[in-house]
Amino acid sequence: MLIQICSNLTERFIRNGILDQSLTDWCIYWLQKKILTALAVSLMLILGSPIFGFDVTICFLLGLFPLRRRLIGYHTKSPYTCIILSVGIMLLALLLNSTFNQRISLVFSLVNFMICFTLVVCVLSDQTDPRLHLTHEEVKENHRLAVQILALVSVAGVVVALLLHSSQCLSSCQMGIMAAVSSAAYNKLKQIMEASTHEKNH
């Protein structure tokens, strides 16, 4: 149903001269991503805010979505399964985060930042998605932006935590970063294993 809606919108864009026909696949994929992201964010806010607080939930989303977009994390076969998995991971992460005292929150945030920053800089430098048809230069630019976003989001998490006097906001933001980096790392590992299996079969 979602694909049909996105396809109809794309056809309308082409008929009205808004979009070139060569970008049909890209537009359908882009529309799906935007709609599903909006749905996922809405569900996360609706479920997370009453349980863990609006500020903590927002901080998790701040850590997750900007970075995940650049790192191109793991996608399930069904977009709806992806949403359910994302919401489930958020609830588990925030449940764990709710058990942290101030010291644990600070230690976790520092250690997690160091690990995630190292992974993004040294390991996740060539993340891509075949459906996006990214050039080598675009992949490099994505990686550069991912490093910058990781640093900026971490600083933003510190600022919010100081303003709200809440160490849990800081660790919640780092939980979101951890989820984004873990998703990208799993995606990379999966691609390496698939490539290895393909080579063995040929």
Would you list the domain boundaries of the chain?
Answer: 52-201
What pTM was computed for the model? 0.85
Dihedrals φ, ψ of 127, to 5°?
Answer: -70, 135
* pLDDT in 10s for each residue of the chain, 202 residues: 777 888 888 888 888 877 777 778 878 878 888 888 888 899 999 999 999 999 999 999 999 999 988 887 666 677 778 888 889 999 999 999 999 999 999 999 999 999 999 999 988 877 666 555 667 787 788 888 989 999 999 999 999 999 999 999 999 999 999 999 998 888 888 777 877 776 666 6
| Pairwise CA distance, residues 143 & 135, whole Å | 13
